Amino acid sequence: MLTEQQYVRWCRSLGFTQQTQELLDQIRAAPPARRVGGGRTNVTGRYPSRKMGVTIQFESHSNELAAVLEYEHDPECLEFYDQPQPRLLLEYQAQNGRRVRVLHTADFFVLRRHAAGWVECKTEPDLLSLAARSPARFQHASDGSWHCPPGEQYASQFGLRYELRSSRDINAVYRRNLEFLEDYLRGRTPTVSDGARQALVEVVHTHPSITLAALLRLAEPCGADDVYGLIATAQLYVDLRTVALVEPAGVQVFCNAAVARAQDALMRGPAPATTERQAFVAAAVGQVIVWDGKRWEIVNVGASKTELLGSDGAFVELPHATFEALAQTGSITSVVQTPAPHDTSAAGDTLDTARGHSDRPCGVCARGSPPVRAKSAGCAAAPRPAAR
């Protein structure tokens, strides 16, 4: 949840008017407009949000709870409120031609980094039925998305959004993974020790795209809780939106998302190489590249790997084959030659510093880390988590 100072800066960054900020102040300060109740097909509940510091109501276990879990763990979501008030005034024309004005309480109000607005969650069958009865309020676009024109019109006067969220858009794999990692995401399990983290990151670094099943076997001295704890805190990377953690044999684990994207480019195969790209593959220490919209400096070219230091301090080691595949597929969009001779000793110092940041999420652990099968300090065996 934002501090008051962060909130004011956020409002200014989005250019909100005084009127909009006053509305946001009301939404943030007010309690939920109502207490949700269940029906014959709904399972209601209350989710204790660590991000918000309060319990969040949900009216449907299969729909609204999925939204709550995403908001809770999405870094782009800054705050979210259930049953927000004041209510919205929706105006539209009914099928009989009569002008309708209704007060409406949305399911959530969400503050994101670059936008804010109301969110209403409905099942796809309900939306189809509602669209038949109230076509001016519920509209199905050609791309499959749903819209509420009166809600969008009301929100637009404040520079805000209104989103109609269908159950069809729920990523079932992502939701299942968030539920699986819930204890780790909420800090209910012991913190992973530095020794265990360094050992496990070293294994993944040495074996790019290792399967989760293989990593769990190698991690037995440290425990499965350590592995899942690193995944939950993004110190090891798994694409949680596409692969289910409950099927570890089919889950690939990487040091970070950049390495995962590089491996994916390698698996797709190289495109026909150009002279410019071939020259890039042979680049020396000190060259600056642009990869995935970010500048990286080549700080070392070893016997088997190329080491990159990002403009934000991130450090990545790529096998030469992966590095070359990125260049040949155009994932590396440009190469900038440094204007003056590069001081390789300085680059070495920078590289050593990057390697030494063992507490950086998804970073590469320092050389000399103990083998994962060797007992390291704080690396006590832990039972595998109970099936979820």
DSSP string over 269-287: -PPPPPHHHHHHHTPPTT-
pLDDT at site 385 = 42
pLDDT at site 139 = 97
Q: What percentage of the chain has pLDDT greater than the value 70?
A: 78
What is the CATH number for 161? 3.40.1350.10
User: What's the CA gap between 267 and 322, in Å, rounded?
Assistant: 9
Which phi and psi angles does 252 have, rounded to 5°?
Answer: -95, 140
State the average pLDDT over residues 167-174: 89
Task: Reply yes or no on whether the pLDDT at 337 is more than 90.
Answer: no
Residues 101 and 203 in one domain: no
Using pLDDT thresholds of 50, 70 and 90, give the confidence band for residue 103. Answer: very high
User: Rounded mean pLDDT of the chain?
Assistant: 80
CB atoms within 10 A of CB 196: 27
State the average pLDDT over residues 302-326: 77
Residues 123 and 80 in one domain: yes
State the average pLDDT over residues 129-149: 96
Number of domains in the chain: 2
Instruction: Kindly state whether residue 56 falls inside one of the protein's structural domains.
Output: yes
State the average pLDDT over residues 93-118: 96
Taking only the tens place, the pLDDT of each residue in 7-57 is 999 999 999 999 999 999 999 999 999 888 655 556 678 888 889 999 999
State the average pLDDT over residues 115-124: 96
Task: Reply yes or no on whether the pLDDT at 145 is more than 60.
Answer: yes
Instruction: Kindly state whether residue 367 falls inside one of the protein's structural domains.
Output: no
Using pLDDT thresholds of 50, 70 and 90, give the confidence band for residue 348. Answer: very low
Instruction: Kindly state whether residue 162 falls inside one of the protein's structural domains.
Output: yes
Instruction: Kindly state whether residue 199 falls inside one of the protein's structural domains.
Output: yes
User: What's the CA gap between 214 and 237, in Å, rounded?
Assistant: 15
Instruction: Kindly state whether residue 378 falls inside one of the protein's structural domains.
Output: no
Confirm whether pTM is higher than 0.75: no
Residues 227 and 282 in one domain: yes
pLDDT at site 140 = 96
Task: Reply yes or no on whether the pLDDT at 86 is more than 70.
Answer: yes
CB atoms within 10 A of CB 17: 12
Instruction: Kindly state whether residue 377 falls inside one of the protein's structural domains.
Output: no
State the average pLDDT over residues 300-319: 79
- Cβ contact 379:199 at 8 Å: yes
Residues 197 and 251 in one domain: yes
Which phi and psi angles does 217 have, rounded to 5°?
Answer: -65, -45
State the average pLDDT over residues 233-262: 89
pLDDT at site 300 = 86
Domain containing 292 equals: 188-356
Task: Reply yes or no on whether the pLDDT at 350 is more than 70.
Answer: no
Taking only the tens place, the pLDDT of each residue in 205-239 is 888 789 999 999 988 778 899 999 999 888 899 99
pLDDT at site 38 = 59
